Amino acid sequence: MSAKILDGKWVRDQILTDLKPRVDRLKQAQRAPGLAVVLVGHDPASEIYVRNKIKACGDLGIYSEKITPPDTLSTEDLLGIVEGLNEREEIDGILVQMPLPAQVDKHSVLVSVRPDKDVDGFHPVSVGNLVANHPGPRACTPAGIMEMLRRYEIPVAGKNAVVVGRSDIVGKPMALMLLHANATVTICHSKTPDLPAVCRRADILVAAIGRAAFITEDFIQPGATVIDVGMNRKPDGKLIGDVDPEAMARLSSAYTPVPGGVGPLTIAMLMSNTVQAAEQHLL
């Protein structure tokens, strides 16, 4: 039996379709949800991400604003920009696009965003709510993966889930969300002994390490669901994930392709978090 391809665009379109009436309701009640994106400098990848985020806002009817300070700015300058956005009532969500220039203190900037406007789900208050399983914005990529598993009706409760990678953006929140969905979760990283053997126990394997095709057939239990979060560019310019695509397609029961798998979900969940913040502020 061939593996099921988990189509991120299909899930994204479903999420956005569900959001549309909520945006319309907010507009009728008071105003459109508002998202401010701060893009420091001219990182080409960040510029593409931000352009896609602004476009998604336009398609949904969300008000968006892009602020583009130069990459020479200081931490104090950026904190001033965030503080101004914190005060503005028509802005429901604030997103500071990473990475930031070396001279800027990333941690100070993250904690300066008001928790009720933290649509990235990175603020310590949001992370605390995730740990305690209280409502609040969730990190967009892992939240999107949970939506994908739910909409494709892939069971999570009682399954062995292995997350490879321990970043604050994907690995850690992913592990917590799977845990809250009653999976038995293992987090792996560069110091994990016999990584292939640990991964082979996974019914659900999430690869988020940023190393092209690092996860080979030795890591995949036949019949597992494989979620490939990696986005690595090969010398020929093509994208490849963290999992060997041929092994993933051959051994898994369901998998996310790269591109077109996890990627589209991140912006969809950012829109979802922005609408949710606006509902809290207005309804």
pLDDT in tens, 190-244: 899 999 999 999 999 999 999 999 999 999 999 999 999 999 998 998 999 999 9
Q: What are the tens digits of pLDDT across the range 79-132?
A: 999 999 999 999 999 999 999 999 999 999 999 999 999 999 999 999 999 999
The answer to whether residue 247 is domain-embedded is yes
Residue 18 falls within a domain, yes or no? no
What CA–CA distance (Å, rounded) separates 276 from 93?
Answer: 10
135 lies in some domain: no
Pair 144, 258 in one domain = yes
What is the model's pTM?
Answer: 0.95
Quick one: pLDDT at residue 168? 94
104 close to 40: Cβ distance less than 8 angstroms: yes
Q: What proportion of the chain, given as a percentage, has pLDDT over 70?
A: 100
Q: Are 170 and 231 in contact (CB under 8 A)?
A: no
Task: Give a yes or no: residue 279 inside a domain.
Answer: no
- Any domain includes 23: no
Q: Say yes or no: 174 and 242 in one domain.
A: yes
pLDDT, tens only, 16-60:
999 999 999 999 999 999 999 999 998 888 999 999 999 999 999
pLDDT at 164: 98
Alpha-carbon distance of 175 to 165, in angstroms, equals 10
**170 and 254, same structural domain?**
yes
In a domain, 280, yes or no: no
> 141 CB contacts (<8 Å, ≥6 apart)?
169, 170, 174, 229, 262, 265, 266, 269
Task: Give the model confidence (pLDDT) of 159-194 as tens digits.
Answer: 999 999 999 999 999 999 999 999 999 999 989 999
Owner of token pair 């997350």 = 163
Does the pLDDT at position 2 exceed 90?
no
- Domain count within the chain: 2
Say if residue 99 is in the same domain as residue 157. Answer: no
User: pLDDT value at position 45?
Assistant: 85
Residues 168 and 243 in one domain: yes
Long-range CB pairs of 69-78 (<8 Å, 24+ gap) are: 69/38, 69/40, 70/40, 70/41, 71/40, 71/41, 71/42, 71/101, 72/101, 73/40, 73/101, 73/104, 74/103, 74/104, 75/103, 75/104, 75/105, 75/108, 75/109, 78/38, 78/40, 78/104, 78/109
Residue 54: CB atoms within 10 Å? 17
Reference 126, options 115, 113, 111; nearest CA is 115
Q: Is 124 among the domain residues?
A: no
User: Is 273 within the bounds of a domain?
Assistant: no
The edge-to-edge listing of strands for the beta sheet with 254-255 is 4-5, 254-255, 225-228, 204-207, 160-164, 184-188
Is there a single domain that holds both residue 148 and residue 95? Answer: no
User: Which phi and psi (to 5°) does residue 55 adopt?
Assistant: -65, -45
| DSSP state, residue 259 | T
Structural domain boundaries, residue 164: 140-263
Residue 109 phi, psi dihedral angles, 5° rounding:
-70, -45
Q: Please give the positions annotated as active site.
A: 53, 97, 120
CATH of the domain at 97: 3.40.50.10860
Which of 115, 149, 177 terminates a domain? The answer is 115
Rounded to whole angstroms, the Cα distance separating 119 from 136 reads 9
User: Domain holding 196: CATH number?
Assistant: 3.40.50.720
Whether 156 contacts 183, CB under 8 Å? yes
Same domain, 166 and 93: no
Among 49, 81, 115, the domain boundary falls at 115
- Locate tokens 């998202």: which residue? 35
pLDDT in tens, 130-163: 999 999 999 999 999 999 999 999 999 999 999 9
Q: Which residues contact 170 (CB under 8 A, 6 or more apart)?
A: 139, 141, 142, 208, 229
Let me know whether 145 and 254 are in one domain. Answer: yes
